């Protein structure tokens, strides 16, 4: 089994064998999955409390849905997330807080109020993000999107070898981040299933994920209820949990360390079981055959 590398998030350091649940908290009225369930600030704060109770290691707060839709400028994105991050930091002083944004202006604003991680889901579309992460000592998630424009769907995108393209792109982004002053242990790489990819590409990345974890860098995967899961099993968005958990187990065995998810408790159980089988955690109890 391949693993990535040691990981720093906020004030916490995790070993290469850690498998962390990053729970999604959408501050959007039009998310593909929850359809605005946590658009209201009080509902979003309740969601944070819930996932912390369910065993999430960190939360990922986003103010813009990934898919095409109503234009959300930087000012509106900040209105949706900055004050909310400040509230979460106040109530949960030790919680690792990530913000899903590709804009350095927004990243700076959320880091000023306590965010620990900048989750750049659009592959370095704003080259100013690494400098912000370095300035605030934040972690940075680098993603492979094939160079597509933020908030656009892939259309007939082709790669000679999608995994090789991801390796080269992610290494280049990681090296730029380190050159800007981001601690190597704070740079996370994400092959970005579905982003700039069709289903065949996402399946190939999953099948060969050890080629990314073998790079010795922390790897994040965002698999939760994605289209590649739905198309693989012919299931609509609301019926993709089983497929998501299967993909999660596969990626866990291949060494991914962080899992961005909607369903935190189910993911926690899958990751803990993989960790127990791998010998990275002891079983919670062992009485069978011993009494």
Catalytic residue IDs: 226, 260
Exposure class string for 155-173: b at 16+ Cβ within 10 A, else e: eeeebeebbebbbebbeeb
Q: Which of 229, 215, 118, 119 is nearest to 172 (CA)?
A: 215
Which residues face 221 on adjacent strands? 259
Tokens matching residue 166: 């991801």
């Amino acid at each position: 089994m391949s693993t990535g590398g040691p990981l720093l998030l906020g004030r916490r350091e995790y070993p290469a064998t850690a498998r962390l649940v990053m729970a999604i908290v959408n501050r959007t009225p039009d998310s593909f999955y929850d359809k605005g369930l946590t658009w209201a600030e009080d509902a979003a704060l309740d969601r944070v409390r819930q996932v912390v109770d369910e065993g999430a290691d960190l939360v990922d707060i986003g103010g813009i849905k990934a898919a095409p839709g109503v234009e959300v400028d930087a000012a509106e994105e900040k209105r949706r997330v900055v004050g909310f991050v400040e509230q979460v930091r106040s109530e949960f002083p030790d919680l690792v807080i990530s913000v899903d944004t590709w804009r350095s202006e927004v990243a700076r604003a959320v880091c000023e109020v306590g965010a620990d991680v900048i989750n750049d889901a659009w592959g370095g579309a704003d080259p100013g993000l690494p400098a912000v992460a370095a300035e605030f000592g934040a972690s940075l998630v680098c993603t492979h999107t094939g160079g597509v424009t933020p908030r656009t769907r892939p259309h007939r995108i082709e790669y000679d070898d999608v995994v090789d393209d991801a390796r080269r792109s992610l290494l280049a982004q990681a090296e730029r981040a380190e050159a800007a002053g981001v601690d190597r242990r704070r740079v996370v790489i994400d092959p970005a299933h579905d982003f700039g990819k069709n289903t065949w590409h996402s399946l190939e990345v999953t099948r060969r994920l050890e080629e990314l974890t073998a790079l010795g860098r922390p790897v994040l995967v965002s698999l939760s209820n994605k289209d590649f899961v739905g198309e693989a099993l012919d299931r609509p968005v609301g019926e993709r949990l089983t497929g998501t958990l299967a993909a999660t187990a596969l990626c866990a065995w291949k060494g991914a360390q962080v899992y961005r998810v909607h369903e935190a408790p189910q993911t926690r159980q899958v990751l803990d079981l993989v960790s127990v089988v791998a010998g990275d955690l002891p079983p919670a109890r062992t009485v069978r055959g011993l009494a």
